[in-house]
Amino acid sequence: MKKGTFTSYFRRKQIIEVAAKTIAKQGFNNTSLEDIAANAGVSKGVISYHFANKYNLIRDMTATLMQQMNQFIKERVAESETNTEKLHNYIRASIEFFYEKRDHFLVIMDVGINHSAREESNPFSPFSYRLCRHEISEIILAGQKKGEFKVLPVEPLASNIQATIDGLGIQYIFTSDRKHLLECQKQMLALVDLALCNEKT
Amino acid sequence: MKKGTFTSYFRRKQIIEVAAKTIAKQGFNNTSLEDIAANAGVSKGVISYHFANKYNLIRDMTATLMQQMNQFIKERVAESETNTEKLHNYIRASIEFFYEKRDHFLVIMDVGINHSAREESNPFSPFSYRLCRHEISEIILAGQKKGEFKVLPVEPLASNIQATIDGLGIQYIFTSDRKHLLECQKQMLALVDLALCNEKT
Amino acid sequence: MKKGTFTSYFRRKQIIEVAAKTIAKQGFNNTSLEDIAANAGVSKGVISYHFANKYNLIRDMTATLMQQMNQFIKERVAESETNTEKLHNYIRASIEFFYEKRDHFLVIMDVGINHSAREESNPFSPFSYRLCRHEISEIILAGQKKGEFKVLPVEPLASNIQATIDGLGIQYIFTSDRKHLLECQKQMLALVDLALCNEKT
Amino acid sequence: MKKGTFTSYFRRKQIIEVAAKTIAKQGFNNTSLEDIAANAGVSKGVISYHFANKYNLIRDMTATLMQQMNQFIKERVAESETNTEKLHNYIRASIEFFYEKRDHFLVIMDVGINHSAREESNPFSPFSYRLCRHEISEIILAGQKKGEFKVLPVEPLASNIQATIDGLGIQYIFTSDRKHLLECQKQMLALVDLALCNEKT
DNA sequence: GATGAATGAGGTTTCATTCAT
DNA sequence: GATGAATGAAACCTCATTCAT
């Protein structure tokens, strides 16, 4: 397997996409390489040809999904001016990602949880990184510096916000209730404002 | 297999406990019945004798863990007088459960997420039920009736609270950072008060 | 897989025997676990149940064959009185082993050569040990002490004798020419006497 | 595939050499065409282009190695005048080949032993031919005619001499002990003289 | 009730071979 | 001539399940 070629690049991308869809549909435990191959309309050997082993496929797939999610959110945050807007957009984008790419989030969770237990260095660390609320912390800190936000302990706050987002995502995985998700989001934004924002005079 | 006997009852309980521990350690995907049997110090046949198949074992195990968690929380809620206290205790108990029984929560998540995708009737519905914030809704409604709580839309609020709890649990699964978890909890309680409680005059 | 039981013991023995026969017939490279299972009249899984993996089966099989060969020779040597007789019997027994258990020797060679190249510590060292002509050296040394044998450099002599034996074995593997093998043996004994033995007065 | 061209000739030669090196390093069992291609710095397809299939490659490789060995020995024998010298040089050249081209001998053995068992016409018959001591027989017969050698049964003698050579080669494969190999050779020559040569008056 | 032996389907992986470019 | 992508058979191994003892 040569990694550099164009064909290779697109095949890998295609396989990763099909793998995500298949895992979303069948669950990580219940998805074999053969299933993925079948869904991709290729032979079993193709998977092995492009990925050294299943582990690598899963790892690369997860990394890709994580990156897509992060980029989706970052772009939205970047569009904003004030830190209040940034935070709102972070939350909005995260939740929008859930219903636009429910499968992606499901797979990230599925794989992440499934590997969380391993003592060895978890290769799905991008996932845990997400949980480390780095992005949110930065926004809050900036907002506090500018006087937009009240001065609250930043790290717990970032964790709580990210936790709420993730928890809503999990609920959505189970219920697929879009309307309710949006109501939660609306309320969440209001609560964040209440808790964090200084009144504009 | 006779289900009624005492011996049978304790064997099943024992197997379920060992199964949970094993899955927490190795991941659902990586745990065979033989692993569970070995950890329980019994032969493989014993598992088959007491559970019709692996699926049933997992289902019963998950139900048991769910029930333990719910009971743990309910007892704490029942101790309380006011609805504010009830809500606080609901949150406190949930989070306490995470670090007292991290493995339990991990396994519930592992199995739940893994089966969430199946179109067929999900046998792990107790899990999704949890996410339906029934318990919390009741507390909030009661509190609103008594004037303890502000009148906010109940269902989204219950979802947001449960989401935050679950999200913190997931973070804890990955980080095992107890101190941080407690800081988050403390802040969360304050935020809930801020959002929901009427000032006591 | 429990190793201690009687059933297990006999199954392992049986599998090893069938494995040796199959490898002798088909060649090491061309023998799959399924072939062995089929020849043994059991299912594929039985092999895996009794041997952790193919490597272990091959290793144990080789060790068994080596041990049988060594014991066969040792017993013959032990019957003898003088060192001349011991040496003769060592040679006779070795060669007799070839045509009584041609398959065994073939498999030992097959596996040994196949693994000789590996840089890592070769697990088939019993084989190389054989080549280290330990047994023969002892007999020669004893014979020289007693004055039965001329004083020649012992280590090269032992190597040359063992080499001749092994080389005849390889020829026999290819030709299966029993009559010729016996003629070679007869001459070899005469040559050894000529080279090594002092005339009896 | 055109066999006649110069390019083709050299490519085939190159591939055969790389194949031999690779098999010597990894063992026949553990060497894929891709390994050989990679070591040769070409693509997998090149192998297929020049050899109809793997079997043919192995067969041609073995034939080439055999021929190189035979030629190496024959040239040395041809340099000699007397039959005693011829025989000495046969032995010397054989053993020299072992430590100059250990890999070649290892591969010849590896492939030869592995295919020895096949009932079907063994394509690696050049190997068995070698063992048929043709060359040595001729030298001995000539020497006996000229009165250089004692009159002993020729065929067994040729077999014993070739057997000793081959056995030493096998030992060397395992031990890579050059010094010991040379001591054995020295002694072997002396023993051959003792057994075979008439005293020069 | 309990055990361990056996089964066989299914999973991952390897690899000789084919083929379009 | 050469390449690398694709195939699919076959290898090894795992494991839920069955069953005689």
Distance from residue B48 (CA) to nucleotide F18 (C1'), in Å? Answer: 10
pLDDT of residue C175: 85
Nearest chain B CA: its distance from A29 CA (Å): 6
pLDDT single digits (tens) D5-50 = 676 788 889 999 999 999 998 888 889 999 999 999 999 989 999 9
* C184 domain-assigned: yes
The predicted model gives C122-146 an average pLDDT of 79
CATH of the domain at A6: 1.10.10.60
pLDDT single digits (tens) C71-90 = 999 999 999 999 999 999 99
pLDDT of residue C1: 64
Please check whether residue B27 touches A, CB under 8 A: yes
The partner residue sitting opposite A170, judged by closest CB among B157, B166, B180, is B166
pLDDT of residue A134: 87
Residue C2 — pLDDT band, cuts 50, 70, 90? Answer: low
CATH of the domain at D80: 1.10.357.10
Q: Chain C to chain D, count of Cβ pairs less than 8 Å apart?
A: 157
Nucleotide nearest to C3 (CA to C1'): E4
* A201 domain-assigned: no
Same domain, C109 and C13: no
- In 3-state terms, what secondary structure has residue A197? strand
pLDDT of residue C85: 96
Distance from residue A32 (CA) to nucleotide E12 (C1'), in Å? Answer: 9
* C60 domain-assigned: no
Same domain, D21 and D84: no
**CA distance linking residue C60 with residue C66, whole number of Å:** 10
pLDDT single digits (tens) D73-94 = 999 999 999 999 999 999 999 9
pLDDT of residue A74: 93
- State yes or no: pLDDT of C128 exceeds 90: no
Stated pTM of the model: 0.89
* D201 domain-assigned: no
The partner residue sitting opposite B165, judged by closest CB among A26, A167, A173, is A167
pLDDT single digits (tens) B32-41 = 999 999 999 9
User: Which of the 47-86 residues on chain B come under 7 Å of nucleic strand E at their beta carbon?
Assistant: 48-50
Number of folded domains that form chain A: 2
User: Which of the 94-113 residues on chain C come under 7 Å of nucleic strand E at their beta carbon?
Assistant: none
**Cβ atoms within 10 Å, residue D160:** 24
pLDDT of residue B85: 96
Same domain, D26 and D116: no
- In 3-state terms, what secondary structure has residue C198? coil
The partner residue sitting opposite D160, judged by closest CB among C155, C188, C195, is C188
Same domain, D146 and D98: yes
Question: Structural domain of residue A26, as residue ranges?
Answer: 1-52
Chains B and A share 3 or more Cβ pairs within 8 Å: yes
Residues 122-141 of D with CB under 8 A from C: 127-128, 131-132
Residue D130 — pLDDT band, cuts 50, 70, 90? Answer: low
Show the low-confidence residues of chain A (pLDDT under 50). none
Q: Is C53 within 7 A of strand F by CB distance?
A: yes
Same domain, D46 and D136: no
Distance from residue A1 (CA) to nucleotide E15 (C1'), in Å? Answer: 13
- State yes or no: pLDDT of B126 exceeds 60: no
When the pLDDT of each residue in chain B is averaged and rounded to a whole number, the result is: 88
Between A110 and B83, name the one with better pLDDT.
Answer: B83
Same domain, C186 and C144: yes
Q: Is C9 within 7 A of strand F by CB distance?
A: no
pLDDT of residue B129: 58
When the pLDDT of each residue in chain C is averaged and rounded to a whole number, the result is: 90
Nearest chain D CA: its distance from C75 CA (Å): 24
Q: Is A1 within 7 A of strand E by CB distance?
A: no
Distance from residue A40 (CA) to nucleotide F6 (C1'), in Å? Answer: 13
In chain C, whose CA is at the least distance from the CA of D130? C171
Same domain, B99 and B137: yes
pLDDT single digits (tens) B127-161 = 555 656 789 999 999 999 999 999 999 999 999 99
Same domain, A78 and A133: yes
Nearest chain C CA: its distance from D94 CA (Å): 14
Residue B118 — pLDDT band, cuts 50, 70, 90? Answer: low
* A124 domain-assigned: yes
In chain D, whose CA is at the least distance from the CA of C167? D163
Same domain, D115 and D184: yes
Q: Which of A140-149, C106-115, D19-28, D54-63 has the highest mean pLDDT?
A: A140-149
* D104 domain-assigned: yes
Please check whether residue A159 touches B, CB under 8 A: yes
pLDDT single digits (tens) B3-53 = 566 777 888 899 999 999 999 988 888 899 999 999 999 998 899 989 999
Q: Is D34 within 7 A of strand E by CB distance?
A: yes
- In 3-state terms, what secondary structure has residue B22? helix
pLDDT of residue D2: 52
* C160 domain-assigned: yes
- State yes or no: pLDDT of C171 exceeds 80: yes
pLDDT of residue C201: 52
pLDDT of residue B27: 86
In chain B, whose CA is at the least distance from the CA of A180? B156
C1' of nucleotide F9: residue with nearest CA = A45
Query: Crossing angle, helix C33-40 and helix C54-79, to 10 degrees?
Result: 60
Distance from residue D47 (CA) to nucleotide F3 (C1'), in Å? Answer: 12
Distance from residue B23 (CA) to nucleotide E1 (C1'), in Å? Answer: 26
Q: Give residue B32's region: left, alpha or beta (phi > 0; psi -120 to 50).
A: beta
Please check whether residue A183 touches B, CB under 8 A: yes
Least confident of A18-32, B106-120, C146-160: B106-120
| Per-position DSSP letters for A156-194, written without gaps between them | HHHHHHHHHHHHHHHHHHHH--HHHHHHHHHHHHHHHHH
CB-based contact B168 A171, cutoff 8 Å: no
Same domain, D66 and D140: yes
pLDDT of residue B201: 53
CB-based contact C171 D159, cutoff 8 Å: yes
pLDDT single digits (tens) D178-199 = 999 999 999 999 999 999 998 7
pLDDT of residue A16: 96
* C201 domain-assigned: no
pLDDT of residue D14: 92
**Cβ atoms within 10 Å, residue C134:** 11
Contact B61, B19 (CB under 8 A): yes
The predicted model gives D128-133 an average pLDDT of 63
> How many residues would you count in chain A?
201
Residues 33-62 of D with CB under 8 A from C: none
Contact A65, A28 (CB under 8 A): no
Distance from residue A61 (CA) to nucleotide F1 (C1'), in Å? Answer: 37
Same domain, D45 and D72: no
Helix ranges, chain D (H): 6-26, 33-40, 44-50, 54-79, 83-100, 102-116, 125-131, 134-146, 154-175, 178-196
pLDDT of residue A80: 94
Contact C37, C51 (CB under 8 A): no
Nearest chain A CA: its distance from B156 CA (Å): 5
Same domain, C23 and C108: no
pLDDT of residue B112: 86
